[in-house]
Structure 1
Amino acid sequence: MIERMLEDMPRTAAVAPTGGAFAPVSTGPEPVTPGRFALVSVVIPARNEAQNLPILVEEIAAALEGRAFEVVVIDDGSTDGTREAILALQAAGRPVRHIRHDRSCGQSRAVRTGALVAHGDVVVTIDGDGQNDPRFIPGLVALLEEGPPGTALAAGQRTGRTDTRLKQFSSAFANGLRARILKDATRDTGCGLKAVPTAVFRRLPYFEGWHRYLPALVMREGLGIAHLDVVDRERRFGTSNYGIFDRMLVGILDLFGVWWLLRRGQRRPEIREL
């Protein structure tokens, strides 16, 4: 339903200015240019994170003090007190929206839902377990606002990992293999902290696991990426909703799927209306 609504939205095309020079035609979302975003949408994919969400939302509010923002919690089929936690935040005056999946569909689908329903012109993603520190959100947004034209992804890269050695090893192996095959110039794509203009986010090809390949998918559109080192924290409450070996096996299949997408999207003509 959301996808159908987006397909019906009007698309803009640049008009050729007088004097004979023609501006590029936009066949989708408007071009990415530096400037201040009017509203920041912070998307939190969360499954059974009722204890972590209140702390995380308050940290987001402190980090974005002085800016217009909304927090969009994508409740991925939670069975705990997530609804009650969000109601308490709303009663306290926090700009929190509760978007619920009727069943758990995974982090990628939750991120996708958040990008589709966001009201802001930029989407910032952050994990719901509290391991991502919201104080880095302004820095990510600034990389887009102050960076060169065409910068469409600001990605956090974790330092001081707090995960188990096995999880760190599997992450390092996956990141190394991905970087060698996709050449996406990114050390760590598993960090949940990312900022992407909403219009760009919505036009990226979707598949399960896509949130780990955003740098490559953004580069496929002919757009640039920027990075920010961020500090990894320990989870306060609960346990991880994602395994290691099952994710690794699926990730290898996804990797070659993205490689195929990159190979099939190399020709990008300059489009002009005459």
Structure 2
Amino acid sequence: MASQPVDIVPRLSVVVPVKNEADNVAPLLAEIEAACAAHGPFEVIYVDDGSTDATAAVLAEQAATRPWLRRLSHDRSCGQSAAIRSGALAARAAILVTIDGDGQNDPAFIPALVRALDAGGSAIALAAGQRVGRKDTGFKRLQSRIANAVRKTVLKDGTRDTGCGLKAVRREVYLRLPYFDALHRFVPALVRREGYDVVLVDVVDRPRLTGQSKYGFFDRLWVGIVDLAGVWWLINRRRMPPQVRELG
């Protein structure tokens, strides 16, 4: 596929957080390139969150032939939310697309997310993927169903699946969200907190390309409860932002 000039401001910035996903980099990059090519200039920002495998070397190899590929590296593992935020801060496009680096999110759905965001106008700040046909184990699907049901009841965010990494969001709005670890699981609720609407797009789940999940049940349970309480507090302490105009 033809390269694009690197000095053109991209329309999309695709942020991919990764940790020890060396075998998934090349196939996922090819799919992202195919999905984004029709949307004009784009950039892909891989954020290596302290990998100890060959992820960095594979990314360097891929960058040699893809001028739109940018590479960021954390000196230590700081988590998925930190990696996404690093990518968002570095991004040059007005629209951020986030996608997990393990291949479970299919990049073919990126155009649908961007179209949904565009169609909503300025009132819509987030097009969030919600997975159908989950390919996780039965126990992990049960975990997600319980967690999502509790979250919907507490936060009333109108979303049945905030765990899907595939999202398109207006960068200026994303950077206004209060940052904390695990922010990526609460983006719809916090975007609504800022006074914007969210549109939901069904995306078909698939198995990760290679490797194993980095998440377990017990290492997320208690942290998730604390995060949920914190986000509930943030939402309930927020007043509707005023419309500001300069008078002279």
Alignment TM-score > 0.5, same fold: yes
In the alignment, the residues of structure 2 paired with residue 70 and residue 114 of structure 1 have an alpha-carbon distance, to the nearest angstrom, of 11
In the alignment, the residues of structure 2 paired with residue 169 and residue 161 of structure 1 have an alpha-carbon distance, to the nearest angstrom, of 11
Count matched residues. 238
- Name the CA shift for 1:149/1:121 in 2 (closer, same or farther; >3 Å): closer
Q: Paired residue for 1:23?
A: none
Give the AA of the match of 1:52.
N
**Could you tell me how far 1:94 is from its partner in structure 2?**
5.0
Partner SS, residue 269 of structure 1:
coil
Gaps of 5+ in 2: 1-8
Q: Paired residue for 2:232?
A: 259
Alignment map for 1:238-257 (pairs within 5 Å): 238-257=211-230
In the alignment, the residues of structure 2 paired with residue 83 and residue 149 of structure 1 have an alpha-carbon distance, to the nearest angstrom, of 37
Q: Deviations over 1:231-258 (max 9, x none)?
A: 1110121111122222121111101100
In the alignment, the residues of structure 2 paired with residue 173 and residue 114 of structure 1 have an alpha-carbon distance, to the nearest angstrom, of 30
CA radius of gyration, larger in: 1
In the alignment, the residues of structure 1 paired with residue 41 and residue 246 of structure 2 have an alpha-carbon distance, to the nearest angstrom, of 36
CA contact (8 A) 2:15 2:98 kept: yes
Q: Paired residue for 2:93?
A: 120
Answer yes or no: is 1:155 the counterpart of 2:98.
Answer: no
**Could you tell me how far 1:197 is from its partner in structure 2?**
1.1
Partner SS, residue 118 of structure 2:
helix
Specify which of 137, 143, 146 is matched with residue 173 of structure 1.
146
- Name the CA shift for 1:250/1:124 in 2 (closer, same or farther; >3 Å): same
Pairwise CA RMSD: 1.3
In the alignment, the residues of structure 2 paired with residue 267 and residue 129 of structure 1 have an alpha-carbon distance, to the nearest angstrom, of 37
Normalising by structure 2, we get a TM-score of 0.93
Greater than 3 Å deviation, 4+ residue runs: none
Out of 258-267 and 133-142, give the one that drifted further. 258-267
CA contact (8 A) 2:50 2:75 kept: yes
CA contact (8 A) 2:15 2:87 kept: yes
Q: Could you say which structure has the higher helix fraction?
A: 2
Partner SS, residue 208 of structure 1:
coil
Give the AA of the match of 1:92.
T
CA contact (8 A) 2:96 2:171 kept: yes
Gaps of 5+ in 1: 1-36
Partner SS, residue 229 of structure 1:
strand
Answer yes or no: is 1:131 the counterpart of 2:96.
Answer: no
**Could you tell me how far 1:106 is from its partner in structure 2?**
0.7
Give the AA of the match of 1:273.
E
